[in-house]
Structure 1
Amino acid sequence: MDNGSAHSMVMRYFDMWNTGDTAIADQILHSQWVDHAHPDVTGPAGVKQAVQTIRAERPDLRFTIHDVLGDNDLIAVVGSVGRPQQTTDSPGRLIWLIRLVDDLMTEMWTYQQNQPSH
């Protein structure tokens, strides 16, 4: 898989969370998928359920992606999550590291980049 395809796949993952359309999960997530920030959510079926649950509880929650970097099997994503109208008290930027195996997203780690205090 080339970098463009890997980057596109990762963007489709975050679009799934923003739109609630989980049809893509089986095409982009490995059967052994694990999000280390949420280890109880495994595999495409677990992600589909989590998307539906979170969107029902917080329908205005949005992921915004600022940069996607990396090579064929390890992608770094810099972004933020919040509500579109949220302008203050932002939790800061998040960095997701995503490992791909067999051209599918297999593991994800989440790190918070705190905003400097003013």
Structure 2
Amino acid sequence: MTSGPASTTVMRYFDMWNTGDTTIADQILHPAWVDHAHPEVTGPAAVKQAVQAIRAARPGLHFTVHTILGDSDLVAVVGSVGRPQQRTDSPGHLIWLVRLVDGLMTEMWTYQQNQPSR
């Protein structure tokens, strides 16, 4: 796993989702933030609202980061989503590509890596 400023920022983002502590959103998200999987959620204030709403609806939601690759303005994250007591709810890994500007997360794209059929 890569270790550096960009990967630390990205880890803090997933920690925010896991803990519900949105006080760090303004420290890690660029004002022009957009998650292309959820383009209706733009900017840190909208992310704070989304975290609170989703955690209220799915309190057991947990992001696990397996690997972070890169540590500049583009970072790839491989992880999964599930509950802490379960390995994962998804049939495969998720891959997030994150673009950073001035050390802040600016854009994110989400891709699902499905497990091969057996």
Q: What range is the shorter-chain TM-score in?
A: over 0.9
Report the secondary structure of 1:40's partner residue.
strand
1:117: how far off? 1.5
Q: CA deviation at 1:95?
A: 0.2
Change (3 A) 1:88 1:80: closer
Q: For 1:90 and 1:66, locate their aligned partners in 2 and report how far apart those are by CA, in whole Å.
A: 14
Secondary structure of the residue aligned to 1:71 is coil
Q: Which residue of 2 aligns with 1:22?
A: 22
Unmatched segments (≥5 aa) in structure 1:
none
**Paired letter, 2:115:** Q
Amino acid corresponding to residue 13 of structure 1 in structure 2: Y
In structure 2, distance between residues paired with 1:109 and 1:76: 10
Q: Specify the code of the residue in structure 2 equivalent to 1:45.
A: A
- Corresponding residue number in structure 2 for 1:56: 56
In structure 2, the CA distance between the partners of 1:26 and 1:85, relative to structure 1 (3 Å rule), is same
Q: Distance in 1 between matches of 2:57 and 2:89?
A: 20
Shift of 1:70: 1.1
Deviation at 1:71, TM superposition (A): 3.1
Once the two structures are aligned, what percentage of the paired residues are identical? 79
RMSD, matched Cα: 1.4
Q: Deviations over 1:17-37 (max 9, x none)?
A: 000000110000000000000
TM-score by length of 2: 0.93
Q: Which residue of 2 aligns with 1:39?
A: 39
- Kept in 1: contact 2:82–2:88 (CA 8 A): no
The offset of 1:103, in angstroms, is 1.2
Mapped to 2, the partners of 1:23 and 1:104 lie a distance apart of 15
Q: What is the Cα deviation at residue 87 of structure 1?
A: 4.9
2:116 matched residue in structure 1: 116
| Equivalenced residues, count | 116
1:8 corresponds to: 8
Aligned residue identity for 1:75: V
TM-score scaled by length of structure 1: 0.93
Q: Which runs of 4+ in 1 moved over 3 A?
A: 85-90
